[in-house]
Copies of this chain bind each other. A is one copy, B any other.
Amino acid sequence: MNAKIAVLAGDGVGREIVPEAVKILKAVAQKYHHTFEFVPGDIGGQAIDKVGVPLPQETLALAKQSDAVLLGAVGGPKWEGLEYSLRPERALLGIREALGLYANLRPAKVYANLVDASTLKREVVEGIDVLVVRELTGGIYFGKPKGIEKLPNGEERGVNTEVYTTDEVRRIAKVAFEAARKRRKKVTSVDKANVLESSELWRKVVIDAHKSYPDVELSHIYVDNAAMQLVRNPRQFDVLLCNNMFGDILSDEAAMLTGSIGMLPSASIGAKVGLFEPIHGSAPDIAGKNIANPIATIASAAMMLSYAFQLDKEAEAIEQAIVKTLDLGYRTKDIQSPGARIVGTTEMGDAILRNL
């Protein structure tokens, strides 16, 4: 197949890890006879430096004309002083909204070799395989009214609005049920229906959407209990269906349980063009040193192949190459262990390439 891929490396380690994923994608293209065109674009802090805004119009135009977007990471101390509307993070919110990426898929899986990197006991961590399905373009992230207003008494009032419509909940619920069908067929929907009306609607619509998926088991959990249960027994979960805010929190918690967030990819899908990025950030403290772990980004490229291009075999090949490379003892610094072979960013990319 032919595909055009927008490559937005962004800031910090993004500039080092994205080239490794591109390297792997090129090898896949050659091996499986596809033609991928890679077109770079600016995003985040480096876009601010270059053109004054974190998400330039050209970048958005490029993304819209592409078949998929590969993103590195955005942000860093250099841009933290800026007012909120100009901060690198705004580029993420902007591109999600502009591309209609309402479904964020964040698998938190433990690689057998890396179980000991977790702060949790081996017997709790072994075999964790949770997919967080997070609604990404609604809820309190985008709801209106929002803002800070002056009160008559001189004080201020900060407001955000959590809002979901039937339609928004139904479409993300479907994504979760479909995903569950390819996995262990269990969806746990997270809400706070004992307090929030928006959650009451959420639960009602999820129950309704479930009628078309009788083969999938559905249960409901309050968000506070979910935060607990992830620590107590993360293996009980298959697909965790969350709104935007709860998904932000729980997907990060779930990721950290695995002990190796340098390994975890994500996919944001919805309308035409999907976006694929590692869940870790720009890690400015280790940027430019060739020590960042490129695996999360390479795994994100695999998700791109599978979700954007339906190239499941090719995606599988990348995942197997990652596992094999770990089996051979290759480790970046963040996942080092006694006796392992510590390599840099490019060396890890090369090793995975060889094992493809």
Contact = CB atoms under 8 A, between A and B. Distances in A.
A268 to B, nearest CB: 16
Contacts of A3: none
A252 B232 contact: no
A157 B144 CA distance: 13
A113 interface: no
Contacts of A250: 227
A141 B195 contact: yes
Contacts of A230: 253
A125 to B, nearest CB: 9
A178 to B, nearest CB: 21
Nearest to A225: B252
Contacts of A223: 248-249
Interface string A205-236: 10000000000000000011101111111000
A89 interface: yes
A237 interface: no
Interface in A99-129: 119-121, 124
A143 to B, nearest CB: 8
A196 B140 contact: yes
Nearest to A80: B194
Contact of A232 (B119, B225, B246): B119
A29 B34 CA distance: 81
A89 B228 contact: no
A159 B253 contact: no
A255 interface: yes
A87 interface: yes
Interface in A132-179: 140-141, 143, 146-148, 151, 155-167
A198 interface: yes
A198 B253 contact: no
Q: Indicate the member of A158, A192, A225, A230 with the most B CB atoms within 10 Å.
A: A158
A197 interface: yes
Contact of A224 (B192, B248, B257): B248
A201 B231 contact: no
B202 A158 contact: yes
Given A120-B121, A148-B200, A228-B256, 12 more contacts: A84-B200, A143-B159, A151-B165, A155-B166, A156-B166, A156-B201, A161-B161, A224-B251, A228-B255, A231-B231, A231-B256, A246-B249
13 contacts: A84-B194, A120-B121, A155-B167, A157-B163, A157-B165, A158-B196, A158-B197, A159-B163, A159-B198, A160-B197, A225-B252, A227-B227, A228-B253
